[in-house]
Amino acid sequence: MIPTAFDYARATSLDDAIARLQAAGGAGKLLAGGHSLVPLMKLRLSEPAVLIDIGHIPDLAGIRESDGVVEIGANTRHHDVATSALLRERCPVVADTAAVIGDPQVRNRGTLGGSLAHADPAADYPAAMLAVDADLHLKGPGGWRVVKARDFFQGVFTVDLAADEILAKVTFAASRASAYAKLHQRASRFAIVGVAAALETGGGIIRTARVGLTGAASSPSRLAGVEAALAGQPATAAAAAAAARGAGDGVSELNADIHGSAEYRRAMIPVFTRRALEAALARAGG
Amino acid sequence: MAQVSITVNGKRRSADVEPRLLLVHFLREHLNLTGAHVGCDTSQCGACTVLLDGRSAKSCTIFAVQADGAEVTTIEGLADGDRLHPLQEGFWEEHGLQCGYCTPGMIMSAVNLLNDNPAPTEQDIRDGLDGNLCRCTGYQHIVNAVQHAAGRTREG
């Protein structure tokens, strides 16, 4: 399958890429790992006139931590997130999530920023970004702006990102007691239901909980009912199971396709919520 | 048109290409390296897998212009003259193929796997080949082939 012809440019910096986006006047598209965009272009569902390759911009990839805040560059590939010793130790939910995206070849090419900006409703990363309450750093012609993950995702393939802005990095506070659990589509590995949990525990008590859901509905969301039910509870599997019960009840706009009906997805949300919570609790220090 | 220069199997290859030319078509049609196959053409089957800067990638989902300046290894670049690569030998010895269509991609994915993990368990091998589909073998002989190669590589 051959995409529509386009002009190709390699951006040398974020500002260069922004200038090229502006010059393209809405007909330009950013290319990072290309593992969402290129398949769409081959199907001619996307026909950009100009492709601006941001894959070679220096310093746009990498994982670092300072003062408890983790930063991941937008061009960081899923494989590098999945195998990051820093993330495995300090914020395992993010590494967990990257490790179960697609397959090894996809993880070798796909990027964090590309996945978030594309916002496929069945993508894995959005749940993790909600659970760690990530800040998404966007750069445009007027400079930088920061959007919370919970405000960034607005609907199917729709995010708070202007046509001349670039998602450059994400930052979040490390959360040790965190994990991701998903029911995956057997062939594509996309999430039918994916749940990411990040807990703050102390003295055997769950102080706060954040739980992100993806795959199940038209856009990712926090499971506020589960979070409220967990706060102040003992940090035990029994408390996790009790909080997870009914986790799917309030979720609206459930997806339905050949891989699972809306009812099936609603039934699976508590199951994978419980699994994510149990895995997160197993990593809690006390 | 765009000028690309890609080091393929150790040799620098330059050409003027349309930006929309996929890497797999550059390899097959411009360089006549037909080992990387076009299977599903939708980033799922892995028959087009090559190494791009040392890591496995589906060459049907990468434009040749993206690989400008990069190093690519295809199945044709594995053997040392008449001496097969341990993975090629493993597929030979363990009957790791029937029709052979998926084999170049399977082997390139297995190279990536053994580079990361020289002593994989059976489950590691199945996970490492998760991005490659075979419609003949049922996979068991492919797993055996990779185990054979892992053993040979460790013996040195």
Topology of domain A63-173 in CATH is: 3.30.465
Which pair of tokens denotes residue A100? Answer: 């179960």
CATH number of B86-155, picked from 2.40.110.10, 3.30.2020.10, 1.10.150.120, 3.30.70.260 = 1.10.150.120
Among all residues of chain B, which has the CA nearest to that of A80? B55
Nearest C-alpha of chain B: how many angstroms from A103? 5
- Tell me the Ramachandran region of residue A253: left when phi exceeds 0, alpha when psi lies from -120 to 50, beta otherwise: left
Residue of B112, A185, A76 lying closest to B127 (CA atoms): B112
CATH number of B2-77, picked from 3.50.50.100, 3.90.230.10, 3.30.420.340, 3.10.20.30 = 3.10.20.30
Whether the model pTM is above 0.95? yes
**Given this model, what pLDDT does residue B121 score?**
97
Return d(Cα A228, Cα A214) in angstroms, integer: 19
- Per the CB < 8 Å rule, is B56 touching A108? yes
Indicate the helix (H) or strand (E) that contains A269.
Answer: helix A262-282
pLDDT digits (tens, 9 = 90+) for B35-82: 999 999 999 999 999 999 999 999 999 999 999 999 999 999 999 999
> With respect to CATH, is domain A7-53 assigned 3.40.1160.10?
no
Return d(Cα A26, Cα B149) in angstroms, integer: 51
Return d(Cα A97, Cα A279) in angstroms, integer: 13
Q: What percent of chain B has pLDDT over 90?
A: 96
Of B18, B43, B130, the CB nearest to A104: B130
Which pair of tokens denotes residue B78? Answer: 């594995």
pLDDT digits (tens, 9 = 90+) for B76-91: 999 999 999 999 999 9
Does the pLDDT at position A286 exceed 70?
Answer: no
Phi, psi of A156 (to 5 degrees): -60, 120
Question: Which CATH code is given to the segment(s) A177-284?
Answer: 3.30.390.50
- Per the CB < 8 Å rule, is A39 touching B58? no
Domain-wise residue ranges, chain A? 7-53, 63-173, 177-284
Helices B86-93 and B140-155 cross at an angle (nearest 10°) of 140
Chain A residues within 8 angstroms (CB to CB) of chain B = 1-8, 10, 31, 34-35, 38-39, 41-42, 51, 53, 55, 79, 102-106, 108-109, 187-189
Nearest C-alpha of chain A: how many angstroms from B7? 17
Domain-wise residue ranges, chain B? 2-77, 86-155
String of DSSP letters for A163-193: TT-EEEEEEEE--SEEEEEEEE-TTT--EEE
